[in-house]
């Protein structure tokens, strides 16, 4: 096995748990993870977290989120660049960013990754440029349209050509959402992205209001059916997976 997988937390959301399909009262903080795939053929990321501009409490987009009762927080140590530098990876060396979807908390770090080719489902990319769909699903061009090279894929796609990382379409959260199946030195992982925000949602099936719930149910069923005995599912924003014992390492120690 030649692939190494790291999981890094790039900031947090602070909001009501119910909007995320998570039970409980009061406020909850949930992580914004992204993943680093270190392969002999190059470094790829799966998603890239929040934009570094959101470190600033008065950032205009953070203010707009607060108006919808969602705050975000991000420290200088949590940016994509800081995480990569701790792994001794120059951000300019990242050759691919596989995007689960085009939301700002998954595509936000693209501005820090100048040489990456984006690997995106064709229907997601097209939705991002469709006025009605981009408005309905909150796909904001300023977070993903930076002039990167884009590789559009339709359905399953083998990222390195050796089966170690395979994109799996999981539409519903957004029109062309995809998940990533990874076989690495760290084991067999299914990175769901926002096809499932948290472990609890596997049971509750509480999906965000903007999403297509029928498609989300179908996608989540397909992801669950794909698991093998030792597959670990890593969810989109599950606080339990990134607490004292993170589900994936963020460093080489
Ligand atoms: Zn998200």
Residue 32 Cα to ligand 1 middle (Å): 7
SS3 225: helix
Residue 237 Cα to ligand 1 middle (Å): 7
pLDDT digit string, tens, across residues 4-14: 999 999 999 99
| Global pTM value | 0.97
SS3 30: strand
Inform me whether the pLDDT recorded for 35 exceeds 70: yes
Q: What is the DSSP string of 64-128?
A: HHHTTT-EEE--GGGSHHHHHHHTT--GGGEEEEE-S---HHHHGGGGG-TTPEEEEEHHHHHHH
Residue 222 Cα to ligand 1 middle (Å): 20
Residue 99 Cα to ligand 1 middle (Å): 11
pLDDT digit string, tens, across residues 106-163: 999 999 999 999 999 999 999 999 999 999 999 999 999 999 999 999 999 999 999 9
Q: What residues form DSSP beta bridges with 38? A: 4, 43
pLDDT band at 212 (very low <50, low <70, confident <90, very high): very high
Q: Residues within 5 Å of ion ligand 1 by Cβ?
A: 105, 194
pLDDT digit string, tens, across residues 63-79: 999 999 999 999 999 99
Residue 102 Cα to ligand 1 middle (Å): 9
Residue 194 Cα to ligand 1 middle (Å): 5
Q: What's the half-sphere exposure (Cβ side, CA atoms, 13 Å) at 15?
A: 20
Inform me whether the pLDDT recorded for 101 exceeds 90: yes
Question: Tokens 């390492």 label which residue?
Answer: 249
Report the percentage of the chain scoring pLDDT > 70: 100
Fold classification of 4-242 (topology level): Metallo-beta-lactamase; Chain A (3.60.15)
Nearest to 15 by CA among 87, 77, 70: 70
Cα torsion through 74, 65, 144, 84, rounded to 10: 10
Residue 115 Cα to ligand 1 middle (Å): 23
Inform me whether the pLDDT recorded for 42 exceeds 80: yes
DSSP state of 116: P
Residue 217 Cα to ligand 1 middle (Å): 17
Map out the domains of the chain as residue ranges: 4-242
pLDDT band at 253 (very low <50, low <70, confident <90, very high): confident
């Amino acid at each position: 096995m030649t692939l190494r997988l790291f999981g890094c937390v790039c900031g947090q959301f602070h909001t009501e748990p119910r909007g995320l399909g998570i039970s409980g009262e009061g406020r909850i903080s949930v992580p914004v993870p992204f993943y680093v795939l270190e392969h002999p053929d190059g470094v790829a990321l799966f998603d890239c977290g929040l934009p570094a501009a959101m470190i600033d409490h008065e950032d205009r987009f953070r203010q707009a989120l607060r108006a919808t009762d969602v705050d975000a927080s991000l420290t200088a140590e949590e940016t994509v660049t800081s995480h990569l530098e701790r792994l001794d990876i120059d951000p300019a060396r990242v050759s691919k960013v596989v995007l689960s979807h085009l939301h700002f908390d998954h595509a936000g770090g693209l501005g820090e990754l100048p040489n990456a080719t984006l690997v995106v489902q064709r229907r997601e990319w097209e939705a991002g440029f469709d006025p009605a769909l981009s408005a309905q699903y909150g796909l904001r061009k300023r977070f993903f349209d930076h002039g990167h090279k884009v590789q559009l894929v339709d359905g399953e796609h083998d990222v390195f050509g050796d089966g170690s990382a395979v994109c799996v379409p999981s539409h519903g959260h957004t029109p062309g959402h995809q998940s990533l199946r990874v076989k690495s030195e760290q084991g067999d992982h299914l990175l769901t992205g926002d096809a499932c925000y948290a472990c609890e949602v596997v049971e509750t099936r509480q999906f965000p209001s903007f999403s297509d719930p029928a498609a989300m149910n179908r996608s989540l069923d397909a992801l669950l059916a794909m698991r093998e005995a030792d597959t670990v599912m890593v969810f989109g924003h599950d606080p339990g997976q990134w607490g004292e014992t993170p589900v994936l390492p963020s460093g080489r120690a």
